[in-house]
Amino acid sequence: MSLLLKGGEFIATEALSANVLKGLMSLARRRPLLLNGMEFHLEDLASLAEEAQRTGRPVWPRTSLKRAALQP
């Protein structure tokens, strides 16, 4: 299983496919979600899903450098 829900946080145990990321995008429409200790907004997940689809390979969750720089 590549994605677990523990409390209010998702834990990715392996790289995520475009389909899994698209599912997470639907959850992030209303509010950001926590994934591997990081806050992901809809735009972050959309960017990752696009990358996974473009390369044909799953990707590890990571936030954009711009957003990460703004977080305390």
How many other C-beta atoms can be found within 10 angstroms of the C-beta atom of residue 44? 24
Is residue 39 classed as helix, strand or coil in its secondary structure?
Answer: strand
Cβ–Cβ < 8 Å for 43, 24: no
pLDDT at 16 over 80: yes
Angle between helices 42-55 and 18-27 (to 10 degrees): 170
Q: Answer whether residue 55 shows pLDDT above 90.
A: yes
Tens of pLDDT, residue by residue over 56-69, are 999 999 876 555 55
pLDDT in tens, 20-53: 999 999 999 999 999 999 999 999 999 999 999 9
